[in-house]
Structure 1
Amino acid sequence: MSDGLIAARIKVRREALGFTQDGVTKLLGFSDRQTLSAIENGDRRVSASELVRFAEVLAAPLTYFTDPFLLAGVGRFSWRQAGVPPQKLADYEEHAGRLIALYRALGAELGRRPPLLRQALGLSKASSYEEAMVAGERFAEEFGLGPVPSRRLAEVMQDRLGILVLMVDALRGVSGAACHLPELDAVLINRQEVAGRRHYDLAHELFHILTWDAMPPDHLEDTVAAPKGRVEQLADNFAAAVLMPSSVIAPFGPWADLADDALVSRLNDTAEALGVSASALRWRLVAAGMLTKGRAKTVDENALRNNGRKPVAVEAPPLFSRPFAELVTQAVDEGLISARKVAGLLDMPLDDVVDAFAAQGVAFDPGL
């Protein structure tokens, strides 16, 4: 555990309790506030006896300050959710944080370096929706997402941008999340959502990762609330353009001259082929100038539900991701962590971890 993380957790815990530096200085028995300030800034190390005293004063177990598999003090989440009780979400955030912290800690042990430079979009809250769409189009082109961008997006995020992407069994009501750390970015997607929703959430959270410093997202985004905030609307426009660039959707046209039934059929078939929702495609066509808003409004929303297909059980992608499974497996193979410890952090039976990693094409040997 680095001194920097201990320092960050001391500061976060103090602020969470509403304690001032002066107040904690007195409780700890330091001669002046500058001592505590130096500790919180990482300029002075904390002795073992002082750390025990911090745990007492800040009413936290020692593991809160020393556990490398926590994100307390450094990780910031933004959740796409609807109606999830605050305490349940807080508990799940701790679990999700452990997945990311596991990857971060083992990566450091294995000498994996984060990207030297982070990619960022040149957008701000003052940017127009058109500028966000242009950025999405350019992203799809410059990163070579191809004729079906949804198929390659996660791969590009992981391999080209160094973003950890994890498919998870999230709480009901949670569709996805972005997490920003000083040395790592991560996106979590609820794998139980339909494919179109998963892909859209992935592109939406990518926007937040690429604009975090310029316009940090809210901790909670209500996916059913209206109207949306400006940052979320910018993210929506970027995501739609990433998944449905003009160069990709234009060849499926012309759209404007189709009869009503033919338009519905074309929307559903095209959306299914692109891994998006037909409703999202309809409004993307309007934004791209390929369909008028008036004509789009004449399309029955019910006819686009489930892309015109009969509802079927969601075919969920495998848990986690291949890079995650490969790194954890390498760490176990090299004796940096035990298989049982991994299973405990993932909150899964050991056999289920073996199966989950196998689904990613990674042979995980618990060594039992």
Structure 2
Amino acid sequence: MAANFIGPRIKALREERNLSQDDLARLFGFKDRQTVSAIETGERRVTAEELMIAVEKLGASLDYFTDPFLLIGEGRFSWRQTNVGPQRLNAYERSAGRWIAAFRAIAPQVGRVAPLLRRALGLHKGSRFEDAMEAGERFVAEFELGDVPAARLAEVMERELGILVLHVNAFDGISGAACRLPELDVVLINRHEVGGRRHFDLAHELFHILTWDAMPPEHSEEARETGGNRVEQLANNFASAVLMPAAVLDRFGDWAAIPERELPARLNAAADALLVTASALKWRLVALDRLKPAAARAVPDATLRNNGRDVAPVPPPPLFSKPFLEVIALAVDQGRVSARRAAGLVDLTVDELDDLLTTHGVPSPLEL
């Protein structure tokens, strides 16, 4: 069996069953655990006979080892969440893994190959917060994100960096995630969060993607715009700088000179213009020394909620993303997957998938 994901799945199942490599070697009839290690790392292929032994002895289905539309033992996730238990988070991770695995399997078949090289930021755990902010400012300039970086950030991540961005329906409390595969980077964003938080989550997860090798993030982190461990603080400073460059903020005037009673309204208006939350803007101004900490703390949180509105003003973005749906549509059009199978992979009916393609402006190959 040539599929290179079988080894990692054997390893994942072995660890789930609390078996050692020596245990697995005895189960397969190998002389030593080195053969198991070579299989798990992909250095050695699994024969058809060995695969059937794994099915029988480990009590897993054949699909568990061979279905390309599963993500088992490969992807590493880092979730931004609030009060979501491990069991629920892991269940959602399995669902998200199916969408990611589907894209990974189908994209190369329709000519959408992953970038040969990955971009990386030259930062590490010892970097200063000022270094992270400078990196954010340089990112905006290099990729010409303009005066409202949030408006084009997802597009640049997809088109320029080859990062798959998916807007998803997630449990309440899940803000988003970064996912690292050997050949693919993915960012998931809960599309039902308010726009400013979605954009902050996107920029925050971008930092994790660009620094994953130097400082791998935790599997789960508390979703917040300030605080957290050292890596999360660096990520927050980078995200704030990407979304709110200093030169753009200075065009709104002298923040320190704004009377206290007028400050909430000015923060809300500027945050709306930049597509960020007023709370994130407030603390970005403090970090830039444009606003004193005492003045920031004097602004009641309630006056900044939803940027001063009773409800979020903008409807959520459509499910998934246009590049993702383009790959699905091409696969159906080329006969690589049936319409029903394609819809099932993304947990939709065929009718719902057809409507979603139209929403994203993707020509639909579905025959309804």
Q: TM-score under structure 2 normalisation?
A: 0.96
CA drift at 1:227: 5.4
1:26-45 correspondence runs (5 A): 26-45=26-45
Between the aligned partners of 1:58 and 1:245, the Cα distance in structure 2 is 54
CA drift at 1:35: 2.6
Report the counterpart of residue 283 of structure 1 in structure 2: 283
Report the counterpart of residue 128 of structure 2 in structure 1: 128
Q: Is the 8 A contact 1:168 1:188 kept in 2?
A: yes
Q: Is the 8 A contact 2:339 2:366 kept in 1?
A: yes
1:1-368 correspondence runs (5 A): 2-223=2-223, 228-312=228-312, 315-368=315-368
CA drift at 1:300: 2.0
Between the aligned partners of 1:226 and 1:253, the Cα distance in structure 2 is 24
Amino acid at match of 1:68: P
Q: 1:313 to 1:281 in 2, by over 3 A?
A: closer
How many equivalent residue pairs? 368
Cα distance per residue 1:242-286 (max 9 Å; x no partner): 000101111011111111222222111000111111111111011
Q: Is the 8 A contact 2:114 2:184 kept in 1?
A: yes
Q: Which range is displaced more, 266-275 or 27-36?
A: 27-36
CA drift at 1:225: 11
Q: 1:367 to 1:63 in 2, by over 3 A?
A: same
Between the aligned partners of 1:224 and 1:143, the Cα distance in structure 2 is 26
| Structure 1 unpaired stretches of 5+ | none
Q: Is the 8 A contact 1:55 1:62 kept in 2?
A: yes
| Structure 2 unpaired stretches of 5+ | none
Between the aligned partners of 2:111 and 2:18, the Cα distance in structure 1 is 38
> The residue matched to 1:252 in structure 2 has which SS?
coil
CA drift at 1:46: 1.4
Q: Is the 8 A contact 1:192 1:314 kept in 2?
A: no
Q: Which range is displaced more, 149-158 or 257-266?
A: 257-266
Q: Which range is displaced more, 166-175 or 297-306?
A: 297-306
Q: 1:313 to 1:288 in 2, by over 3 A?
A: closer
Q: 1:163 to 1:225 in 2, by over 3 A?
A: closer
Cα distance per residue 1:90-111 (max 9 Å; x no partner): 1211111111111111112123
CA drift at 1:224: 6.0
CA drift at 1:226: 9.0
Q: 1:309 to 1:37 in 2, by over 3 A?
A: closer
Q: Which range is displaced more, 32-41 or 324-333?
A: 32-41
Q: Is the 8 A contact 1:354 1:363 kept in 2?
A: no
Between the aligned partners of 1:38 and 1:79, the Cα distance in structure 2 is 30
Between the aligned partners of 1:312 and 1:100, the Cα distance in structure 2 is 29
Q: Which range is displaced more, 306-315 or 332-341?
A: 306-315
Q: 1:195 to 1:226 in 2, by over 3 A?
A: closer
Q: Which range is displaced more, 225-234 or 129-138?
A: 225-234
Between the aligned partners of 2:177 and 2:249, the Cα distance in structure 1 is 28
Between the aligned partners of 2:248 and 2:55, the Cα distance in structure 1 is 56
Between the aligned partners of 1:257 and 1:362, the Cα distance in structure 2 is 49
Between the aligned partners of 1:189 and 1:312, the Cα distance in structure 2 is 17
Amino acid at match of 2:24: V
Q: Is the 8 A contact 1:24 1:57 kept in 2?
A: no
> The residue matched to 2:176 in structure 1 has which SS?
strand
CA drift at 1:38: 2.7
Q: 1:39 to 1:139 in 2, by over 3 A?
A: same
Q: TM-score under structure 1 normalisation?
A: 0.96
> The residue matched to 1:215 in structure 2 has which SS?
coil
Between the aligned partners of 2:313 and 2:244, the Cα distance in structure 1 is 25
Cα distance per residue 1:290-311 (max 9 Å; x no partner): 1111222222222212111232
Between the aligned partners of 1:35 and 1:301, the Cα distance in structure 2 is 59
CA drift at 1:43: 2.8
Q: 1:167 to 1:67 in 2, by over 3 A?
A: same
Percent identity of equivalent pairs = 57
Between the aligned partners of 1:160 and 1:225, the Cα distance in structure 2 is 26
Q: Is the 8 A contact 2:39 2:45 kept in 1?
A: yes
CA drift at 1:18: 2.0
Amino acid at match of 1:336: R
CA drift at 1:20: 1.1
> The residue matched to 2:4 in structure 1 has which SS?
helix
Q: 1:96 to 1:174 in 2, by over 3 A?
A: same
Q: 1:273 to 1:2 in 2, by over 3 A?
A: farther
Q: Is the 8 A contact 1:193 1:314 kept in 2?
A: no
Amino acid at match of 2:326: E
